[in-house]
Amino acid sequence: MVSLSTTRRGVLGLSTAAMIGATLRATDAAPEGELRVGVHVSLAPTWFDPAETPGIITPFMLLYAMHDAVIKAMPGDPMAPCLAESCTMSPEGLSYALSLRKGVKFHNGEELTAEDVKFSLERYRGAASKSLRDRVANVDIHDPHRLTIRLKEPWPDFLTFYAGASGAGWIVPKKYVEQVGDEGFKKAPIGAGPYRFVSFTPGVELVCEAFDGYWRKKPAIKRLVFKVIPDESTRLAALQRNEIDIAYSIRGELADELLRTPGLAIKPALGSAPYWLYFPEQWDPQSPWHDRRVRQAASFALDRKTMNEALTLGHSRLTGSIFPENFEFYWALPPPAYDPARARKLLAEAGHARGFDAGDYYCDTSYANIGEVALNNLREVGIRVKLRPLERAAFFKAYSEKKLKNIVQGASGAFGNCATRAEAFVAKGGTYVYGSYPDIDELFAEQAVEMDRAKRAATLQRLQQLVHDKAIYAPIWQLAFISGVGPRVDQSGFGLIKGFVYTAPYEDLTLKGKA
Amino acid sequence: MPSPLLSLENLSTHYVSQQGTRVVRAVDEVTLSLNAGETLGIVGESGSGKSTLALTILRLLPAAARITSGRMMFEGENLLEKSDEEMRQVRGKRIAMILQDPMASLNPLFTIGDQVGEPIRVHEGASRASAWKRAIGLLRSVRIASPETRVSQFPHEMSGGMRQRIVGAVGISCEPRLLIADEPTTSLDLTIQAQYLKLLRDLQREHGLALIFITHNLGIVAKMCDQLAVMYAGRVVEHGPVSRIFNRPMHPYTRALLGSIPRMADNRDHLTAIEGQPPDLASMPPGCAFAPRCPEAFDRCRAEAPPEFTIDHETRARCWRAPVDASAKAAS
Amino acid sequence: MKQYIARRVGYSLLSLFLLSVTIFLFVRVTGDPVSLLVEPGASPEDIENIRRQLGLDQPLWEQYWHFMASLFAGDLGQSFYYRVPVLDLYFQRLPHSLLLAAVAMALSLLIGIPSGILAAVRVDGFWDSAGKIFALLGLSLPQFWVGLVLILFFSVYLGWLPSSGSGGVLHLLMPAFTLGWYFAAAHMRLTRSSMLEVLGSEYIKLARLKGLPEALVIGKHALKNALIPVITLAGINLVVMINVAVVVETVFAWPGIGRLLYEGITFRDFPVVQGVVIIGGAMIVMVNLLVDILYALIDPRIRLES
Amino acid sequence: MAVITPVTTDTVASTAPFWRLKGFPVIPVSILLLIAFVAVFADVLAPHDPQIGSLARRFKPPFWLEGGSLVYPLGTDHVGRDVLSRLIFGARVSMVVGITAVLVAGSIGTLLGIMSGYLGGWADQVVMRITDTWLALPALTFAIFLAAIVGPSELNIILILGLVYWTRYARVIRGEVLSLKQREFVRLAVVAGCSSRLIMWRHILPNVINSAIVLATLMLGVVIVTEASLSFLGVGVPPPKPAWGLMMADGKKGLMVGYWWLTVFPGICIMLMVLSANLLGDWLRVKLDPQLRQL
């Protein structure tokens, strides 16, 4: 999960979780009706298995339906205890004691026990699995509902990874997995989530059915169908025809149509991937980008607000940082103003009174629409660039191999915190770092060994300040993910969980006329 | 004298190019007649209009060709006044034709029986079974061995000579009054050629057919035909009984042809013995078309095209010298 | 003849070998699947971990050797993205592709053959131009646009047909038409030229000389002969359709091979791309081989010439 | 009257038929000339810069609709650029991309086709094996890979399309050469001791050039439509270059929203160009095929 903001240490009380459970608990009526979701990507069976969770957000779309986690983000609480009733960190930070909820059943009727939690953690091999394996010493089971996870050394970020940025805390039934094997599990997954797997047709659809025995509440909707519709215009058409009730990722002018069509509703959700312009030639004294004023001018030239209105109907979050707001150690920076006059002035001071030919502007093809607008903005102040959209795979290959020049339009939705983000994008040697500044590298090295959280935060904030002052990047926004919802849906579930762009939790979704 | 089976009067067929600027007089003012049971030979070089004439009689001309004038009387009816549908009913039933390349004339995808019986079914409304039976009989009559098995075979299973005879069988399937054979033997070797000619003659006798035999082989004409028409540049330059023309050709072109007569054994494709080239049909000389090559041409020949002189009831020729020569001969 | 066939089969295998090398290298030099399986900026450990899981940490020649060895064992490897065997994926998609291609081909011939015949029989007439232009239009408009216009009209505006997905006959109509229309022009042209050629043949002349009604001449004698090359082309195009329907499959969310391949490319799912291209290549090479051999059987000159 | 059409032989086997039009295809050629004219004088004709827009005036409809104005006669696109100006400059891009790509494909294909057909043996084997491999690789797949390798630019799209489609030429031309080889004049040239290179250059090339030209007009359409499909898949001519195919791919979303002018106008342009090229090609087939000159 990308959404987690702060790491909670100490006791995660019952309070919030219990309250949510109480207030949202609907009637006990039997689930009925069918909700069809038009999905923008091809669903992969790997996503049925929490152990495979890669470092992208998409699989969580399915995990929330079929599985449940010890602790996961829920409405109002980014770290809500779910399968756990409580989680207590030992004072020295070396162990976490979990007390599991009793009577929780998997879809096959077996009870979820501490064995399954241990098994799931040890079996986990997805994103961040190495960090977990390196730091987790062992898991002690005290009784079927109590266990302790012991660390080799204090690791303040443990819960960030266990409960958020990985699938390790999502529980699969040990007995079943051992019986059917990994391949068998992907063909017929069993979890403890609100919906159980019914059928999957690759490239076509995934069908799930309400699990009456879900601990939190009985889902209101009987069937969930995820239909794969790769083209977004077609997705919109399917929504307009009520072939689907929810259409993920409806962008630009198609979103306008959602507003215009009676019965349809627009559901924006803010993702946690900031977008930015990067100037890889700023370390080359020959390049015009070497001059900080030129980079600042580029930033002032961007009319982020209008861009936001036009491309995402104003739902994206403008930002002055390349770090997402929900990251630990985030230091808020206001979005740079749109000030073309100042941009021109800066350019003139830098010796480009008549503007200059700035070369290429590289971007991922899927986001060339941002580039097209930025291109116009830059040209208005005299920075003349050529758009060079590269197909996604080729773009990231070239970006990481440091083959790009002039301007790069980048983005990242990677899990982690501000330190991990800085490692990849700012500090010397990072995957996407074309050059670095000694003072920043120093700060980065300093925070990496700092055990005191407050001091580390201060260091990282100074680092963020420097990234801003040096205008290494011209940040644009955190992109809004816009989905459409059809007339049959009452509670669509969008935006309930902060930072999560898909609909969730599924047990809370309702159709109109069916309480 | 009984009225002839077929008489063509002043028949002209022209090809007109798409822009209408080029006119090719492929058949020009042809007058011919043929009695029932008779054989008419038509000879001439390639491009002299023989085949066009045959297709004109059947009204099966390419899109660009137009019959511009004349009459075509067949059994007392003017074929030019018939509708397309009426004309279709004449083809195959009353006038049949055997094509230049009988080898390619059979559809490779249908059985022999189907193709031989087809005209019978179309023109006489015969059932499939009875047409089949008739086809077997027809194959027998063109001397095909074991017709019962052959009838259900496909063309590629037949030898060239057999296919030739099958095409003949198609021609006579509806007992037509007139059969036009357009160089039917050019693609055959000599023995088969002779057999085939004999077959045609036999068929003609048995069925009382009139036959138009188009060829450039004067040897065949001598054997097969009663009447002969010599064509040059779209026109009939000489017309008369074969014996008369062979003995006493009136037109210099006929004389040249006879001078270069190939033997039966000499299966040459072209008559090459005459010097010079045939004229371009699209830009004919003002006078006689043959004048540029004619050893006997004089000024009038080059200035004015000769009309068709009727020397006697069996001799007609298009040459300024013809009436003169005729009277000279008569005098001598 | 045996020797000829043996030689042709040999060439075909050589072509497939070249194809395997080409696709193996292409797919590797153009992008890194790992960068797509994680978010940019993911930790190097995770990246290394995935790389090892996918076997991408081995040297190139070893990967190729492994790929070829499994290929001969009938195994195309596991998809990076789906983590299931490529062959499973392929055979899940193949029926959809076959169905789409078959219906598209039927529609394509339904447009192409009549318009081709009309064009050949009524040269320069109204129907010639109308049929010609209708068939050519399918070639002149990008498929994605045709598809969207169809969806807009038949799904959104009229509400007659489902916009996308697979299922009943109704789902099939729009994608099949879009795909078939694109190919209609080729079939129309070939029908026309083949028909014209046949109409000029001696046996058609003879059929007319027999006094057959024009309908019989065209419909029986000419058509049957003229359709032979058209059916041959249709056979080849059927295989082509299975492999090139990316755009149509994407627009109509049709779960076919084309989309599998396209998604394989966008995710740099090496085993999927390799597998689909090789199987598709084998199909095309095989059909060409069959056609060549059939023609050689029919026409001995071809044998001599090569 | 029943029709017997003269027997004709196709120069370009099977891919396309021989076509007969009444005289010169006036309308198609005028359309192509018009497009060429517009392409050449785009700078003068276009009222606005095709690459610059402003979000403030995006999605303006054509002038005859409510909210439209004559300033942007055919409306504006999603970035607020003038559709008419983009169409005008698009003519240039599409013409340049289409024609050059066909030239690239034609040159490679004709050259290799001649060599393969005339020299035979080893050279033939190499070329034919490569074409087989090429044909087994779906064109779009191939194009996506090439685009990923060389990156997107107008020039690269030309190269890609050329590299994808040369095999079609090679096959056709090779077939032609094989039959030319049997002809008298080539045999005479061989007997006269001409070198292979001279024969290919002097005797073979002029005789296959007609087929190459006919094929080129037919390929023009294929290339332009493929260019559009590449844009749809995101690997075509890079925005904001005004290429018709790109305009259609960009505007396809607008189609669902009622901004039909974004795709309909470039669609009409592509359609007219492709149709015209095809009709001209079919006419050329007839004109350039010596066997059909008789009438």
A407's tokens: 């301007």
Note the pLDDT tens digit of each residue in B130-164: 888 888 988 888 888 888 888 888 888 888 778 88
Q: Do C202 and B123 touch (CB under 8 A)?
A: no
| Among candidates C209, C213, C225 on the partner chain, residue whose Cβ is nearest the Cβ of B60 | C209
Whether pLDDT at A305 is above 50: yes
What's chain A's average pLDDT?
Answer: 85
User: Does D7 touch chain B if contact means CB atoms closer than 8 Å?
Assistant: no
The answer to whether the CB atoms of D1 and B19 lie below 8 A apart is no
- Does residue B91 have a pLDDT over 80? yes
A371 in D contact zone (CB under 8 Å):
yes
Whether chain C has a CB inside 8 Å of the CB on A127: the answer is: yes
Under a CB-based contact definition with an 8 Å cutoff, are residues D99 and D36 in contact? no
**CA–CA separation, A340 and A303 (whole Å):** 9
Nearest chain A Cα distance for residue C237, angstroms: 24
- Could you say which DSSP state residue B3 is in? P
B329 vs A66: which has the higher pLDDT: A66
Least confident of A449-453, B253-257, C156-160: A449-453
- pLDDT above 60 for B179: yes
Chosen from A372, A375, A388, A395 to mutate, greatest number of chain D CBs within 10 A = A372
CA distance B101 to chain C (A): 7
Cβ of A236 under 8 Å from any chain D Cβ?
yes
Residue D293: predicted pLDDT: 30
Interface test with B, best of C121, C122, C124, C203 (most B CBs within 10 A): C203
* CB contact residues (below 8 A), chain D span 157-186, against chain A: none
Amino acid at B178: L
8 Å CB contact between A117 and A100? yes
Residue B24 confidence (pLDDT): 80
- Provide, as residue numbers in chain D, all residues whose Cβ is less than 8 Å from the Cβ of C199: 4-5
Mean pLDDT, to the nearest integer, of A35-40? 93
In whole angstroms, give the CA distance from residue D233 to residue C246: 9
Chains interfacing with C (3 or more CB pairs < 8 Å) = A, B, D
- Range 167-226 of A in CB contact (< 8 A) with C: 183, 186, 201-205
Query: Which residues are B24's β-sheet partners?
Result: B15
Kindly state the average pLDDT of the residues B122-129.
86
Residue A211 CA to residue A109 CA, distance in Å, equals: 10
**Do A391 and D257 count as a contact with CB atoms less than 8 A apart?**
no
* Residue whose C-alpha is closest to residue C120's, from C6, C208, C48, C218: C218
Neighboring chains of B (3 or more beta-carbon pairs < 8 A):
C, D
Q: Across-strand partners of B27?
A: B13
Q: Is D2 on the interface with B (CB under 8 A)?
A: yes
State residue A348's pLDDT score. Answer: 92
**Contact yes or no for A414 and C40 at CB 8 A:** yes
Report the length, in residues, of chain A: 515
Q: How confident is the model at residue A7 (pLDDT cuts 50, 70, 90)?
A: very low
What is the tens place of the pLDDT at every residue in A13-24? 433 444 444 444
Of the pLDDT bands very low, low, confident and very high (cuts 50, 70, 90), residue D127 is confident
Percent of chain B with pLDDT over 70: 89
SS3 C174: helix
SS3 A335: coil
Is D223 exposed, middle or buried, given 0-12, 13-18 or 19+ CB atoms closer than 10 A? buried
pLDDT by residue for chain C (306 residues), tens only, comes to 778 788 888 888 888 888 888 888 888 877 778 877 776 666 777 778 778 878 888 888 888 888 888 888 888 888 888 888 889 889 988 988 999 999 999 999 998 898 888 888 876 677 777 888 888 888 888 888 888 888 888 888 888 888 777 777 888 888 999 999 988 888 888 888 888 888 888 888 888 888 888 888 888 888 888 888 888 888 888 888 887 788 888 888 888 888 888 888 888 888 898 888 888 888 888 888 888 777 777 655 444 444
Q: Summarize the confidence of residues B109-130 as an average pLDDT.
A: 87
Nearest Cβ partner of D5 from B59, B60, B63? Answer: B63
* Torsion, CA A469, CA A470, CA A476, CA A477, rounded to 10: -50
Check the CA dihedral A392-A393-A395-A400 and report its sign.
positive
Comparing CB atoms, the residue among C30, C42, C49 nearest residue A414 is C42
Beta carbons of A69 and A171 less than 8 angstroms apart: yes
Average pLDDT, chain D: 79
Chains that touch D (3 or more CB pairs under 8 A): A, B, C
- In a 10 Å sphere around its CB, with 0-12 CB exposed, 13-18 middle and 19+ buried, how is residue D153 labelled? middle
Token pair listed for B3: 């009225």
Position A438 pLDDT exceeds 80: yes
Query: Per the CB < 8 Å rule, is C208 touching B91?
Result: yes
Q: Give the pLDDT band of residue A344 (cuts 50, 70, 90).
A: very high
**How much is the mean pLDDT over chain B?**
81
Q: Do D4 and B62 touch (CB under 8 A)?
A: yes
Is there a contact between D23 and B15 if contact means CB atoms under 8 Å apart? no
Q: Which of B13, B14, B18, B57 to mutate to test the interface with D (most CBs of D within 10 A)?
A: B18
User: C212 vs B92: CB contact, 8 Å cut-off?
Assistant: yes
Contact residues on chain A for C46, CB-CB shorter than 8 A: 55, 127-130
Query: Any idea which residue has 């042709």 for tokens?
Result: C8
CB contact under 8 A, D256 and A254: yes
Contact A83, A101 (CB under 8 A): yes
The yes-or-no reply on A/B contact (3 CB pairs or more, < 8 Å) is no
State residue C299's pLDDT score. 57
| Contact status, residue C241 vs residue C235, Cβ threshold 8 Å | no
pLDDT category at A195 given cuts 50, 70, 90 is very high
Q: Is C208 in contact with B167 (Cβ distance < 8 A)?
A: no
* Per-residue model confidence (pLDDT) at position A25: 45
Mean pLDDT in residue range D102-131 = 87
Banded model confidence at residue A150, pLDDT cuts 50, 70, 90: very high
Report residue A406 as tokens: 């002039």
Q: Do A393 and C255 touch (CB under 8 A)?
A: no
Mean pLDDT over D192-205 rounds to: 80
The verdict on C125 touching B (C-beta cutoff 8 Å) is no
Instruction: Write down the pLDDT at residue A14.
Output: 39
Confidence band of B273 (pLDDT split at 50, 70, 90) = low
ipTM: 0.77
Per-position DSSP letters for A57-119, written without gaps between them:
STTHHHHHHH--BSEEEETTEEEEESSEEEEEE-TTSSEEEEEEPTT-B-TTSPBP-HHHHHH
Residue A409: pLDDT band (50, 70, 90) is: very high
Instruction: With CB atoms and an 8 Å threshold, state whether B18 touches D6.
Output: no
Tens of pLDDT, residue by residue over B114-123, are 888 888 888 8
Is a pLDDT exceeding 50 seen at residue B165? yes
Over residues A196-219, mean pLDDT: 90
**Cβ-based contacts of C206 with chain B (< 8 Å):** 99, 105-106, 167, 170
**Do C206 and B101 make contact, defined as CB atoms within 8 angstroms?**
no
**Per-residue pLDDT for A300 more than 90?**
yes
CB contacts, 8 Å: C163 with chain A: 234, 237-238, 241, 243
- pLDDT cut 90: percent of chain B above it: 0
**Option in B15, B19, B84 nearest D1 (CB):** B84
Q: What is the pLDDT of residue A407?
A: 93
Q: Do B110 and C210 touch (CB under 8 A)?
A: no
Q: Tell me if C203 and B105 make a contact (CB, 8 A cut-off).
A: yes
Q: How confident is the model at residue A36 (pLDDT cuts 50, 70, 90)?
A: very high
Q: Which of A254, A307, A309 sits opposite D257 (nearest CB)?
A: A254
- CB contact under 8 Å between D4 and B15, yes or no, is no
Cα four-point dihedral sign A317, A321, A322, A328: negative
CB contact A257 to D (< 8 Å): yes
